[in-house]
Structure 1
Amino acid sequence: MILWRPEFLPTSVIVVAAPPNFPRAHNLGKLDLASAQADHAGLDGKHIALANGHQLWLPSMGLDAPLGALVPFDDDFSLRMAGLFRFGQYLTGQRTSPLPRSMRLTSQRRDRLILMLRALDAHLAGATYREIAAALFGNEAAAEHGWKTSPVRARTIRLVQDAIAMMEGGYFNLLRGR
């Protein structure tokens, strides 16, 4: 699992120490960190990715300290709160609710992303749009008379252009449910 910085993945939880007058606050000591998919200590703190999809960032505290959470008021506030709510359910042994709908890929979107990746791979390897269309949609679709005005050509060009935009940083929108 890849660790994402919380400013890019709003469902990650920023864990801070609870105020001193909250003695019943939970701590991370009871979590099974041996099964964590990633556990990285860096200059900016500790990043943990649990096997169940929760991602935590501990900028300056230990695992046994009582927990609090920091939730920035930004454009992703509702997603941050949903991530925090899900982690709270997990931490207290409750059934974890699903990710917010905007964070789940529909089968249609997943299929288009796959086509985009295949188109980008072919484009970066030097394939022409017609060759890409043949690989994605079959030789018949790419061999149509009137290739210049073909809807398959237009679709192939859009897939390549969108994939390039995604490669150049647009993929962050996926992490933010957009």
Structure 2
Amino acid sequence: MLPTWPGSGCAGITTTNRIISGYLAANVQARRRASSDASGGSRFPADPQKTFDKQAVFWAPEVLPTVLAVRAANRIAPKTYSLDFNNLPGGELRRAPDGWHAIVPLGGTQHRLCLGKLPASGYAVVVDLPLDAGFELRLRAARRFWLALERRALGRSPLALPALKRRRLILALRAVDGWQEGNSYRQIAQGLFGSHRIAERAWKTDDLRSRTIRLVKLGQRLMRLRWRALLDKRRGRDDK
């Protein structure tokens, strides 16, 4: 298991959503950070008294394409597809100026929905799929929601990242945590890779020094709102 920096919100994270949510929660208390007041990532403010995994995170649909816009259809739904948004066991429902936002646990995962008005209980719902740059991700999220209603296997999340990239992002977030605490690159490298790999090597020419610097810079870019790239696989661009 990788060592952790004190106060890091990212230790042990293994999924994309936990990487993002954990980093945003930890970033509130960062000392050397860019301002994120206008990030617009979450529709509701986070509770600073709670850890990221103890509170619901409602992503804004314009930031996360897998947040599905849902509205009522003019017909009664078959029982299999019936949803009562006023009674979501294990789910969350909140109201915002732009309507309602729901987190619906179904099929072993969480589905994020936004609604202008709450459909009456028992009515069918329609998912809007605008033809824009987020269409493919949105379509895959809509299909997974349908499969969950059908009680069928959901398959891979549309936002899933390869294991190596997840590990690199976790290291980058931990590296920037160490940098924010005032640690040197050498100290950060010791925290990430272990002192035994550095103690007997010429630090200034060590490949781990260059790697650590790159990780800190990547963490800084993520801190300056590049974290949105984690939510938007349309860009297809990997940080170097």
Task: Give the TM-score taking structure 1 as reference length.
Answer: 0.84
- Aligned twin of 1:173: 229
1:47 aligns with 2:101: yes
Q: SS of 1:84's equivalent?
A: helix
- Aligned twin of 1:17: 72
C-alpha RMSD of the superposition = 2.3
Taking a change above 3 Å as real, the CA distance of residues 12 and 143 of structure 1, as seen in their structure-2 partners, is same
- Aligned twin of 2:189: 133
- Aligned twin of 1:81: 139
Give the whole-Å Cα distance in 2 for the aligned partners of 1:50 and 1:8.
19
User: Within 5 A, what are the aligned runs for 1:22-33?
Assistant: 23=75, 25=77, 27-29=82-84, 33=88
Report the AA paired with residue 62 of structure 2: E
Paired residue total: 172
- Aligned twin of 1:57: 114
> Could you tell me whether the CA contact under 8 Å between 1:12 and 1:56 is conserved in 2?
yes
> Could you tell me whether the CA contact under 8 Å between 2:172 and 2:219 is conserved in 1?
yes
Give the whole-Å Cα distance in 1 for the aligned partners of 2:178 and 2:100.
38
- Aligned twin of 1:66: 124
Q: SS of 1:166's equivalent?
A: helix
Q: CA deviation at 1:153?
A: 0.6
Task: Give the TM-score taking structure 2 as reference length.
Answer: 0.64
> Could you tell me whether the CA contact under 8 Å between 1:115 and 1:136 is conserved in 2?
yes
2:89 to 18, 27, 34: 34
- Structure showing the higher helix proportion among its residues: 1
> Could you tell me whether the CA contact under 8 Å between 1:27 and 1:63 is conserved in 2?
no
Q: CA deviation at 1:159?
A: 0.6
Once the two structures are superposed, what CA deviation does each residue of 1:94-146 show, in whole Å capped at 9, x if it has no partner? 3142234x511332222222211221111000001111011111224333544
> Could you tell me whether the CA contact under 8 Å between 1:120 and 1:163 is conserved in 2?
yes
> Could you tell me whether the CA contact under 8 Å between 1:142 and 1:153 is conserved in 2?
no
- Determine which structure has more spread, i.e. the larger CA radius of gyration: 1
Give the whole-Å Cα distance in 2 for the aligned partners of 1:104 and 1:145.
37
Give the whole-Å Cα distance in 1 for the aligned partners of 2:120 and 2:198.
57
Give the whole-Å Cα distance in 2 for the aligned partners of 1:56 and 1:63.
16
Q: CA deviation at 1:164?
A: 1.0
Once the two structures are superposed, what CA deviation does each residue of 1:50-102 show, in whole Å capped at 9, x if it has no partner? 222111111234343431121122212111001111112223x23142234x5
Unmatched tracts of structure 2, length 5 or more: 1-55
| Percent identity of paired positions between Structure 1 and Structure 2 | 35
Q: CA deviation at 1:30?
A: 8.1
> Could you tell me whether the CA contact under 8 Å between 1:39 and 1:46 is conserved in 2?
yes
